[in-house]
Structure 1
Amino acid sequence: MRLALAAALGLALGLASPALAQTSAPRQPTISVMGTGEAELKPDFANLFVSVETEAPTVAQASAANSAATERVLARIQGLGIKKEDIQTANFQVFKIEPPMEKMSLSRDSKDALKFGATHQLLIKTRDLDGVGKLAGEILASGDMTFQSVSFGLDRQEEGGDKAREAAVRDAKRQADVYAAAAGVALGRLIEIRDGSAQPFEPQPEMRMRMAAAKSAQAIPLVPPATLRYTANVQLVWELAQKP
């Protein structure tokens, strides 16, 4: 019985040995390279953010006052040549304004010192990049709104990202060619592509300012960026082969 079992095991191992030999075959060598790419495109528009702020003793009064002030602001902005469809609400909030402690202590009724504020933030889109500074000056000349910030963008955001990805692939291929040549081998099949993120990047930080209303409209020295830069990363993996 034992001899028969040993013979059966030996036969099974003998039959399995070709399969074991196949699984232990040497692994195809590969090279993995991370590529980085950039693309620079001229901006198409500017977004200006302005706010309309009001205060009142009650929420209803603060909201009503803000609504009236916003109507005046919209009329003024459209009077500057901005189309109605290029103005939209970015944020609106009503909040309680806590009075200073010393005023609360002097007041017999804390409700008398309580106020509510309303802030309506508007986004203004303009394609006249050379006139952004003049538009900001006109806004500052109004006592109803406060100029907050300006940023620049592209109509086709994906175009910048795609061009950056193409540049990243070229960069990875260039690096792989250098490594392969230095090692005395050749690049084989491209077997893997791992997509990285493509991010827009402005060459200067978003411009922010909060100023008192000017007595007369004067252009603000805002210089639009010549280009907006996009960056992307990609990881490519090739098989390696012997040089022919």
Structure 2
Amino acid sequence: MLALAPAACAQMPTTAKTASMTQMEHPAMNHNSIQPETTLDISAEGEVMRAPDIAFITAGVQADAETAQAAMQQQANAMTGVFDALAKAGIEKKDMQTSNFSLQPRYTYVEIDEGKGRTRGEQRLDGYTASNELTIKVRDLDRLGATMDSLVSAGGNTFSGISFALDNDDEVRAEARRLAVQSAIARAELYASAAGMKVGRIVTISEGGDYSPQPMAMMSRSKEMMMDASTPISGGEVGYTARVNIQFELVK
């Protein structure tokens, strides 16, 4: 019997080692784990609508001429008048930015009779087109129509559109984010209740990005369409939307 005692003692470390490995192979048995057993992923949005207080006009000058130099000179003369008119309308230099400038050749397609009933097509240079486009920030919306009219009277003949926004949108974006989180929590509670569970802690939360759709009040208006004094423009409302992705833990 005394000879068996050392053998029994030798088995004890092996037994302890086996128990430790079993626990590692079955992490669910570890009651101190913070990994949730049941989770719910929710994506939600929050939207806030506000009346805009600024507008952006995209407008400019387009000039056609037989030579590139003549086209450039014509647009330069017209743009000088446009800048002067905008300054008189109260637009500061910092609120005017060139957004597009181009000089392109113009071609016409002609058919040449080669005789015997055969013709061939050919492109011939017909002149040049110079374009200069501005993005203009208008801070006084009550003078928006008058500003556009003065721009046209000074020589502006292209309009690409108008967009509206808030000059300072930090507070509105923050409100949209709060609404998105509140919406996600409300939906999580609904799903949890339907499943006979409760919402526990938030496991992860991430922002899915936000955007502010800007309604377009006008697109591609020609000079002839803008000749009436004080062109009426309506800004409507602009919407700011935030998205969040939240993972909730569900508990019994």
Specify the TM-score bucket, using the shorter chain as the normaliser. 0.7 to 0.9
Q: SS in structure 1 opposite 2:229?
A: coil
Q: Indicate which of 148, 159, 174 corresponds to 1:162.
A: 174
Length, aligned pairs only:
228
Q: 2:250 aligns with which of 216, 240, 244?
A: 240
Find the partner of 1:182 among 169, 194, 201: 194
Q: CA deviation at 1:125?
A: 1.5
Q: Quick check: 1:138–1:219 contact (8 Å CA) kept in 2?
A: no
Shift of the alpha carbon at 1:49? Answer: 1.6
Match in the other structure for 2:219: 208
Residue 231 of structure 1: CA displacement?
Answer: 1.4
Which ranges of 4 or more aligned residues in structure 1 deviate by more than 4 Å? 9-15, 23-27, 110-113, 214-217
Structure 1 residue identity aligned to 2:183: D
| Aligned residue type for 2:243 | N
Asked if 1 retains the 8 angstrom alpha-carbon contact of 2:208 and 2:243, the reply is yes
5 Å-filtered alignment, 1:69-108, equals 69-101=78-110
Taking the aligned partners of 2:158 and 2:29, their CA distance within structure 1 comes to: 72
Structure 1, unmatched stretches of 5+, are: 1-8
Task: Identify the residue that residue 231 of structure 1 maps to in structure 2.
Answer: 241
Change (3 A) 1:78 1:12: closer
Q: 1:5 matched to which residue of 2?
A: none
Note the alpha carbon deviations across 1:98-143, whole angstroms, 9 max, x for none.
Answer: 124269x9xxxx9985311110001222111122223223333444
Identity of aligned residues (%): 27
SS at match of 2:212: strand
- Alignment equivalent of 1:138, drawn from 122, 146, 150: 150
* 2:149/2:226 contact within 8 Å kept: no
Q: How large is the RMSD of aligned CA atoms in angstroms?
A: 3.1
Distance in 1, Cα, partners of 2:207 & 2:93 = 40
Specify the structure having the higher radius of gyration (Cα).
2
Q: Which residue of 2 aligns with 1:4?
A: none
User: Kindly tell me: are residues 99 and 183 of structure 1, through their superposed partners in 2, closer, same or farther at Cα, counting changes over 3 Å?
Assistant: same
Q: Who is 2:7 aligned against?
A: none
Once the 2 structures are TM-superposed, how far is the Cα of residue 29 of structure 1 from its aligned partner?
1.3
Pairwise CA distance, 1:23: 4.9
Secondary structure of 1:221's partner?
Answer: coil
> Structure 1: how far apart are the matches of 2:76 and 2:174?
43
The correspondence for 2:66, drawn from 57, 81, 92, is 57
Inter-partner Cα distance in structure 1 for 2:234 and 2:182: 33
After superposition, the Cα gap between the structure-2 partners of 1:118 and 1:80, relative to the gap in structure 1 and judged at 3 Å, is: same
- Sort the Cα spacing of 1:215 and 1:153 in 2 relative to 1 into closer, same or farther, 3 A: closer
1:98 is paired with a residue of what secondary structure?
strand
Q: Give 5+ residue unaligned stretches, structure 2.
A: 1-13, 115-121
